[in-house]
Amino acid sequence: MSVSVMIPTALRSYAEGNASITCSGSTVGEALASLTEQHPGLAKHLRTADGKLRSFVNVYLGEEDIRYMDGEATPVAEGATLTIVPSIAGGAR
């Protein structure tokens, strides 16, 4: 399956400046694996040392957060769009 992965601005330097990358996979996890194979520099920003998706990295399939679906096992259809959204915290009091 061909899947588009939307890359947030903060991570585009690790993806050759691309805002969107076409990946292959029949699940979210396979598509993310394809993404990091194409752009290995993204891996450390998306996954922990033991290979788990970092807690501050949110991934959406269309409008749905994959955490409320089947996580990385969530199936993706041909032409689906995944969006990576890093959590942002902090600020001034």
| Residue range(s) defining the domain that contains residue 25 | 2-86
Please report, rounded to a whole number, the percentage of residues in the chain having pLDDT higher than 90.
90
Query: Burial code of 48-81, b = ≥16 C-beta within 10 A, e = fewer?
Result: eeeeebeeebbbbbeeeebeeeeebebebeeebe
CATH number for the domain harbouring residue 31 = 3.10.20.30
| Structural domains in the chain (count) | 1
71: confidence class by pLDDT, cuts 50, 70, 90: very high
92: confidence class by pLDDT, cuts 50, 70, 90: low
User: Is 93 part of any domain?
Assistant: no
User: Is 81 part of any domain?
Assistant: yes
What order do you get walking across the sheet with 20-24 strand by strand? Answer: 20-24, 2-6, 81-86, 57-61, 64-65
User: Is 92 part of any domain?
Assistant: no
